[in-house]
Protein backbone atom coordinates (compact mmCIF):
# COMPACT_ATOMS: atom_id res chain seq x y z
CA UNK A 1 0.00 0.00 0.00
CA UNK A 2 1.33 3.45 -0.88
CA UNK A 3 2.47 5.68 1.99
CA UNK A 4 2.16 8.84 -0.11
CA UNK A 5 -0.43 11.19 1.44
CA UNK A 6 -3.67 11.53 -0.46
CA UNK A 7 -4.41 14.93 -1.98
CA UNK A 8 -7.60 14.90 0.13
CA UNK A 9 -5.90 13.97 3.37
CA UNK A 10 -6.07 16.75 6.01
CA UNK A 11 -2.76 18.58 6.09
CA UNK A 12 -2.47 18.33 9.87
CA UNK A 13 -2.29 14.54 9.60
CA UNK A 14 0.72 14.57 7.33
CA UNK A 15 4.22 13.75 8.57
CA UNK A 16 6.20 16.46 10.43
CA UNK A 17 8.91 16.49 7.77
CA UNK A 18 6.30 17.64 5.26
CA UNK A 19 5.34 20.71 7.26
CA UNK A 20 7.86 23.18 5.77
CA UNK A 21 6.68 22.35 2.28
CA UNK A 22 2.99 22.61 3.13
CA UNK A 23 3.63 25.95 4.89
CA UNK A 24 5.41 27.24 1.77
CA UNK A 25 2.59 26.08 -0.49
CA UNK A 26 0.02 27.76 1.75
CA UNK A 27 2.13 30.93 1.97
CA UNK A 28 2.34 31.26 -1.80
CA UNK A 29 -1.44 30.88 -2.08
CA UNK A 30 -2.12 33.49 0.60
CA UNK A 31 0.55 35.90 -0.69
CA UNK A 32 -0.91 35.64 -4.19
CA UNK A 33 -4.47 36.24 -2.98
CA UNK A 34 -3.86 39.05 -0.49
CA UNK A 35 -0.45 40.46 -1.29
CA UNK A 36 2.58 40.36 0.94
CA UNK A 37 1.58 43.42 3.00
CA UNK A 38 -1.91 42.18 3.85
CA UNK A 39 -1.06 38.51 4.31
CA UNK A 40 -1.08 37.34 7.93
CA UNK A 41 0.78 34.39 9.39
CA UNK A 42 -2.49 33.33 11.03
CA UNK A 43 -4.06 32.97 7.58
CA UNK A 44 -1.10 31.00 6.28
CA UNK A 45 -1.17 28.71 9.30
CA UNK A 46 -4.88 28.05 8.84
CA UNK A 47 -4.40 27.33 5.13
CA UNK A 48 -1.52 24.95 5.92
CA UNK A 49 -3.43 23.20 8.72
CA UNK A 50 -0.82 24.06 11.37
CA UNK A 51 -0.62 26.44 14.29
CA UNK A 52 0.95 29.88 13.95
CA UNK A 53 3.61 28.73 16.42
CA UNK A 54 4.56 25.91 14.05
CA UNK A 55 5.44 28.46 11.37
CA UNK A 56 7.86 30.14 13.78
CA UNK A 57 9.66 26.83 14.23
CA UNK A 58 10.80 27.11 10.61
CA UNK A 59 10.56 30.79 9.65
CA UNK A 60 11.27 33.76 11.96
CA UNK A 61 8.98 36.24 10.18
CA UNK A 62 6.84 36.84 7.10
CA UNK A 63 9.69 38.30 5.05
CA UNK A 64 11.93 35.27 5.59
CA UNK A 65 8.99 33.03 4.75
CA UNK A 66 8.63 34.89 1.46
CA UNK A 67 12.37 34.52 0.74
CA UNK A 68 11.99 30.78 1.19
CA UNK A 69 8.95 30.76 -1.09
CA UNK A 70 11.15 32.37 -3.77
CA UNK A 71 13.92 29.87 -3.15
CA UNK A 72 11.73 26.80 -3.25
CA UNK A 73 9.63 27.85 -6.23
CA UNK A 74 12.09 29.72 -8.46
CA UNK A 75 15.68 29.47 -7.30
CA UNK A 76 15.62 25.67 -7.14
CA UNK A 77 14.67 25.65 -10.83
CA UNK A 78 17.56 28.02 -11.64
CA UNK A 79 19.98 25.83 -9.65
CA UNK A 80 19.01 22.78 -11.68
CA UNK A 81 19.26 24.68 -14.98
CA UNK A 82 22.72 26.02 -14.13
CA UNK A 83 23.97 22.58 -13.14
CA UNK A 84 22.70 20.85 -16.27
CA UNK A 85 23.11 23.48 -19.00
CA UNK A 86 26.05 25.80 -18.22
CA UNK A 87 28.71 23.38 -19.42
CA UNK A 88 26.79 21.57 -22.16
CA UNK A 89 29.02 21.41 -25.26
CA UNK A 90 26.34 22.24 -27.83
CA UNK A 91 25.27 25.72 -26.74
CA UNK A 92 22.32 25.93 -29.12
CA UNK A 93 20.95 22.63 -27.83
CA UNK A 94 21.49 23.83 -24.26
CA UNK A 95 19.48 26.94 -25.08
CA UNK A 96 16.70 24.85 -26.61
CA UNK A 97 16.64 22.62 -23.53
CA UNK A 98 16.44 25.68 -21.31
CA UNK A 99 13.49 26.99 -23.33
CA UNK A 100 11.65 23.70 -22.83
CA UNK A 101 12.21 23.71 -19.07
CA UNK A 102 11.50 27.41 -18.68
CA UNK A 103 8.24 27.15 -20.60
CA UNK A 104 7.16 24.26 -18.38
CA UNK A 105 7.87 26.33 -15.27
CA UNK A 106 6.08 29.40 -16.66
CA UNK A 107 2.97 27.28 -17.32
CA UNK A 108 2.81 26.18 -13.69
CA UNK A 109 0.41 27.99 -11.33
CA UNK A 110 3.42 29.25 -9.37
CA UNK A 111 4.47 31.72 -12.09
CA UNK A 112 1.37 33.97 -12.22
CA UNK A 113 1.22 34.08 -8.42
CA UNK A 114 4.87 35.08 -8.18
CA UNK A 115 4.52 37.60 -11.00
CA UNK A 116 1.57 39.32 -9.32
CA UNK A 117 3.49 39.58 -6.07
CA UNK A 118 6.61 41.02 -7.67
CA UNK A 119 4.65 43.55 -9.71
CA UNK A 120 2.22 44.74 -7.05
CA UNK A 121 3.95 44.34 -3.71
CA UNK A 122 7.68 44.35 -3.91
CA UNK A 123 8.06 48.15 -3.98
CA UNK A 124 6.99 48.07 -0.33
CA UNK A 125 9.88 45.71 0.51
CA UNK A 126 13.16 47.05 -1.00
CA UNK A 127 15.30 44.34 0.60
CA UNK A 128 13.16 41.65 -1.00
CA UNK A 129 13.33 43.47 -4.34
CA UNK A 130 17.13 43.33 -4.13
CA UNK A 131 16.99 39.66 -3.18
CA UNK A 132 14.66 38.79 -6.07
CA UNK A 133 16.65 40.85 -8.57
CA UNK A 134 19.96 39.29 -7.55
CA UNK A 135 18.89 35.69 -7.02
CA UNK A 136 16.34 35.36 -9.82
CA UNK A 137 16.48 37.95 -12.58
CA UNK A 138 20.26 38.45 -12.72
CA UNK A 139 21.02 34.74 -12.41
CA UNK A 140 18.63 33.85 -15.22
CA UNK A 141 20.14 36.55 -17.43
CA UNK A 142 23.67 35.30 -16.70
CA UNK A 143 22.70 31.73 -17.52
CA UNK A 144 20.95 32.65 -20.77
CA UNK A 145 23.64 35.17 -21.75
CA UNK A 146 26.29 32.49 -21.31
CA UNK A 147 24.47 30.02 -23.54
CA UNK A 148 23.77 32.69 -26.17
CA UNK A 149 27.39 33.89 -26.19
CA UNK A 150 28.72 30.35 -26.55
CA UNK A 151 26.26 29.73 -29.40
CA UNK A 152 27.58 32.89 -31.07
CA UNK A 153 31.15 31.65 -30.64
CA UNK A 154 30.12 28.35 -32.23
CA UNK A 155 28.63 30.19 -35.22
CA UNK A 156 25.08 29.08 -34.42
CA UNK A 157 23.73 32.57 -33.66
CA UNK A 158 24.57 35.96 -35.15
CA UNK A 159 26.82 38.25 -33.17
CA UNK A 160 25.14 40.90 -31.00
CA UNK A 161 25.04 41.97 -27.36
CA UNK A 162 24.10 38.70 -25.58
CA UNK A 163 22.39 40.56 -22.74
CA UNK A 164 20.07 42.28 -25.21
CA UNK A 165 19.31 38.95 -26.84
CA UNK A 166 18.61 37.42 -23.42
CA UNK A 167 16.22 40.24 -22.53
CA UNK A 168 14.36 39.89 -25.81
CA UNK A 169 14.02 36.16 -25.29
CA UNK A 170 12.83 36.63 -21.70
CA UNK A 171 10.18 39.13 -22.82
CA UNK A 172 8.85 36.68 -25.41
CA UNK A 173 8.44 33.95 -22.81
CA UNK A 174 7.01 36.06 -20.01
CA UNK A 175 4.49 37.84 -22.24
CA UNK A 176 3.26 34.59 -23.73
CA UNK A 177 3.12 32.98 -20.28
CA UNK A 178 0.90 35.79 -18.99
CA UNK A 179 -1.36 35.35 -22.00
CA UNK A 180 -1.32 31.56 -21.46
CA UNK A 181 -2.74 31.98 -17.95
CA UNK A 182 -5.52 34.24 -19.31
CA UNK A 183 -6.32 32.33 -22.45
CA UNK A 184 -10.01 33.13 -22.36
CA UNK A 185 -9.11 36.80 -22.77
CA UNK A 186 -6.65 36.22 -25.62
CA UNK A 187 -8.62 34.52 -28.38
CA UNK A 188 -5.66 34.42 -30.77
CA UNK A 189 -3.95 31.78 -28.62
CA UNK A 190 -6.98 30.11 -27.04
CA UNK A 191 -6.66 27.04 -29.24
CA UNK A 192 -2.89 27.01 -29.65
CA UNK A 193 -1.38 24.02 -27.88
CA UNK A 194 1.34 24.41 -25.26
CA UNK A 195 3.90 22.75 -27.53
CA UNK A 196 2.89 24.83 -30.55
CA UNK A 197 3.29 28.02 -28.53
CA UNK A 198 6.78 26.96 -27.44
CA UNK A 199 7.67 26.09 -31.03
CA UNK A 200 6.49 29.50 -32.21
CA UNK A 201 8.59 31.36 -29.64
CA UNK A 202 11.62 29.20 -30.32
CA UNK A 203 11.32 29.46 -34.12
CA UNK A 204 10.91 33.24 -33.94
CA UNK A 205 13.98 33.68 -31.76
CA UNK A 206 16.28 31.38 -33.70
CA UNK A 207 15.16 32.86 -37.02
CA UNK A 208 15.86 36.38 -35.72
CA UNK A 209 19.26 35.27 -34.40
CA UNK A 210 20.29 33.17 -37.40
CA UNK A 211 23.81 34.07 -38.64
CA UNK A 212 24.12 35.27 -42.23
CA UNK A 213 25.38 32.71 -44.75
CA UNK A 214 28.82 34.28 -45.11
CA UNK A 215 29.45 34.30 -41.36
CA UNK A 216 28.24 30.72 -41.00
CA UNK A 217 30.46 29.57 -43.86
CA UNK A 218 33.49 31.35 -42.41
CA UNK A 219 32.97 29.70 -39.03
CA UNK A 220 32.45 26.28 -40.61
CA UNK A 221 35.82 26.48 -42.37
CA UNK A 222 37.78 28.07 -39.54
Instruction: Say which CATH number the domain at 17 has.
Output: 1.10.10.60
- Return contacts of 178-183, CB within 8 angstroms, 24+ apart: 178/112, 178/115, 180/106, 180/107, 181/111, 181/112
Predicted confidence at residue 126, as pLDDT, reads 86
Is residue 64 included in any domain, yes or no? no
- Whether the pLDDT of residue 87 is over 90: the answer is no
- Same domain flag for 15 and 118: no
Total domain count for the chain?
Answer: 2
**135-154 per-position pLDDT tens digit:** 999 999 999 999 999 999 99
- Same domain flag for 90 and 200: yes
The number of beta carbons lying within 10 Å of the beta carbon of residue 38 is 11
- Same domain flag for 202 and 107: yes
- Model confidence at 218, pLDDT cuts 50, 70, 90, reads low
Is residue 66 included in any domain, yes or no? no
* Residues in CB range of 67: below 8 A, 6 or more apart: 128, 131
Domain range for 87: 71-220
Is residue 4 included in any domain, yes or no? no
Q: How far is CA 127 from CA 30, 123, 130, in A?
A: 21, 9, 5
Taking each helix axis as running N to C, give the angle between helix 110-121 and helix 91-106, from 0 to 180 degrees, rounded to the nearest 10: 80
Is residue 107 included in any domain, yes or no? yes
Amino acid sequence: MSTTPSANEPRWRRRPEERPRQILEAALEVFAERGLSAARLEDIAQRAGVSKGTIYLYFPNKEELFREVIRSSVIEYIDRAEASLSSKADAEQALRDWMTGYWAWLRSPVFPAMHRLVQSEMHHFPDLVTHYTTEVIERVHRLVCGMIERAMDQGRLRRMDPLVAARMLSSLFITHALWYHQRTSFKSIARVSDQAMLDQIRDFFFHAMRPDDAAAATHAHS
